[in-house]
C-alpha cells in the first residue's frame, strides 16, 4: 500500500495521481489526519486491505505533504554506510552509530523551495526514512519490521559549518534549518517494496548523479537499528528514523561542493519515489 498526505488528508493511492480519501471511504472511522492513522495502524491496515476503490479523488503532486507530518520524535543516524564514513574522515561505528535529531520544525513534504542559510555550506544526504507503526520498546531485531508502518524518501540537508563548529559537533542544529527535512512523496508499506532490505537510492544535483547506493550496504540495517534504538528510547507510532546516507555527499568531494542558489536537488529510492528541492537565498 502507498499512503499519501494530500493537503492534510490521508489518501490510499491507487496510482501516482489518484487515490481513496480515507476519511470519506471509512465513513469517518479513520483519518482524515495522518497522525491518528499511525496511532491505530493495525486496524487501519486491516480496513485498507478491503477498502473499495470505486470512488477515487485526484492526487495533485503539489498538494503532497509529509507522510508523517507530526512525529513525536525524529531520530537520524550518522555514518551508517562504510564509504560515507570514510569520505567523512570517521571510523565505522561498531556499537550504536551516532544518533541525533532533526527538529520537527525542519520537516516538510516532497517538493519544496529551501532557503540556504547565509554564509553556510549546505550539503545533501539522501536517506531511507522509516516510519514507525507500532510502539517499540526493547525489541529484538527479528521483530523490528513488524513495528514499521512503511518507508519514505528523506533528504537530510546539512549545513556543515554549524554542524561541525564549536567544541563538540552540532549535528542536530546544523541539520534543522527550515525545510531541511523533506520527506515523501508518500509512505510505502514494506510488503510493497521489491526488497525491503536492499533498495537502490541516490541523488542528483542539476541532473548530475552525486549519490548512488543501496540499503544492503547499511552497517546497521533497519532491523538492527530499530532494535538498538529501542533499547534506549521508546519509539512511537509516526516517529521517523533517517537511516543514514550513502557515499557521495558534497563535503567529501575534492574540492568540496555545496548547494548554490538556483540548484535543483532530486532524491530517489527504488520502489518509493522522488523528492525535488530548489534552493534560494535566505528569506
For the CB of residue 180, give the shortest distance to Zn ion in the complex, in Å.
11
Collapsing DSSP states into helix, strand and coil, what is residue 139? coil
For the CB of residue 100, give the shortest distance to Zn ion in the complex, in Å.
9
By CB under 5 A, which span of 64-72, 117-125, 186-194, 272-280 interacts with Zn ion? 117-125
User: Which one, 19 or 213, has the nearer CB to Zn ion?
Assistant: 213
Tell me the site size for Zn ion, rule CB under 5 A.
Answer: 3
Closest CA to 243 of 104, 72, 84: 84
Q: What residues are paired with 202 via a beta bridge?
A: 212, 268
Residue 211 touches Zn ion, criterion: CB under 5 A: no
For the CB of residue 43, give the shortest distance to Zn ion in the complex, in Å.
33
What nine digits make up the cell of 153? 524518501
C-alpha to C-alpha distance for 21 and 32, rounded to whole angstroms: 8
Q: Are strands 181-188 and 126-132 parallel, antiparallel or unpaired?
A: unpaired
The C-alpha angle 260, 249, 74, rounded to 5 degrees, equals: 95
Place of cell 525535488: 276
For the CB of residue 114, give the shortest distance to Zn ion in the complex, in Å.
16
User: Which one, 78 or 109, has the nearer CB to Zn ion?
Assistant: 78
Residues 128-167 that bind Zn ion (CB under 5 A): 156
Q: What residues are paired with 122 via a beta bridge?
A: 159
Kindly list the distances between the CA atom of residue 9 and the CA atoms of 23, 28, 180, in Å, as whole numbers in the listed order. 8, 12, 23
User: Which one, 26 or 243, has the nearer CB to Zn ion?
Assistant: 243
For the CB of residue 103, give the shortest distance to Zn ion in the complex, in Å.
14
Residue 266 touches Zn ion, criterion: CB under 5 A: no
Residue 125 touches Zn ion, criterion: CB under 5 A: yes
Complete DSSP assignment for 186-222: EEE-GGGSS-TT--EEEEEETTEEEEEEEGGGBSS-H
Applying CB under 5 A, among 245, 265, 266, 267 the residue interacting with Zn ion is: 245
By CB under 5 A, which span of 63-71, 192-200, 224-232, 240-248 interacts with Zn ion? 240-248
Kindly list the distances between the CA atom of residue 262 and the CA atoms of 55, 182, 204, 244, in Å, as whole numbers in the listed order. 40, 17, 14, 26
By CB under 5 A, which span of 32-40, 108-116, 119-127, 221-229 interacts with Zn ion? 119-127
List all residues 6 or more positions away from 15 whose beta carbon is below 8 Å from its beta carbon.
none
The residue number whose beta carbon is nearest to Zn ion equals 156
By CB under 5 A, which span of 83-91, 120-128, 180-188, 256-264 interacts with Zn ion? 120-128
For the CB of residue 102, give the shortest distance to Zn ion in the complex, in Å.
9
Please give the residue ranges that form the binding site for Zn ion (CB under 5 A). Answer: 125, 156, 245
Amino acid at each position: 500500500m502507498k499512503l499519501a498526505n494530500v493537503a492534510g488528508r490521508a489518501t490510499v493511492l491507487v496510482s501516482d495521481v489518484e487515490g481513496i480519501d480515507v476519511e470519506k471511504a471509512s465513513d469517518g472511522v479513520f483519518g482524515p489526519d495522518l497522525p491518528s492513522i499511525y496511532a491505530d495502524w493495525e486496524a487501519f491496515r486491516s480496513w485498507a486491505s478491503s477498502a473499495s476503490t470505486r470512488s477515487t479523488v485526484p492526487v495533485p503532486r503539489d498538494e503532497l505533504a509529509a507522510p508523517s507530518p507530526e512525529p513525536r520524535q525524529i531520530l537520524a543516524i550518522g555514518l551508517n554506510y562504510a564509504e560515507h564514513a570514510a569520505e567523512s574522515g570517521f571510523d565505522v561505528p561498531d556499537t550504536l552509530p551516532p544518533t541525533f535529531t532533526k527538529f520537527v520544525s525542519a520537516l516538510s513534504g516532497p517538493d519544496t523551495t529551501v532557503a540556504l542559510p547565509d554564509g553556510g555550506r549546505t550539503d545533501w544526504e539522501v536517506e531511507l526514512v522509516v516510519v514507525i507503526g507500532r510502539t517499540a520498546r526493547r525489541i529484538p531485531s527479528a521483530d523490528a519490521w513488524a513495528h514499521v508502518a512503511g518507508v519514505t524518501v528523506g533528504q537530510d540537508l546539512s549545513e556543515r559549518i554549524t554542524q561541525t563548529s564549536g567544541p563538540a559537533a552540532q549535528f542536530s542544529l546544523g541539520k534543522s534549518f527550515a525545510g531541511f527535512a523533506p520527506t515523501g512523496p508518500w509512505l510505502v508499506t514494506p510488503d510493497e517494496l521489491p526488497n525491503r532490505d536492499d533498495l537502490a537510492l541516490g541523488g542528483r544535483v542539476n541532473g548530475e548523479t552525486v549519490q548512488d547506493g543501496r540499503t544492503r550496504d547499511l552497517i546497521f540495517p533497519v532491523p538492527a537499528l530499530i532494535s538498538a534504538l529501542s533499547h534506549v528510547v521508546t519509539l512511537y507510532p509516526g516517529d521517523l528514523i533517517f537511516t543514514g546516507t550513502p557515499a557521495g555527499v558534497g563535503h567529501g568531494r575534492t574540492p568540496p561542493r555545496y548547494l548554490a542558489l538556483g540548484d535543483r536537488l532530486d532524491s530517489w529510492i527504488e520502489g518509493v519515489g522522488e523528492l525535488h528541492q530548489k534552493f534560494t537565498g535566505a528569506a
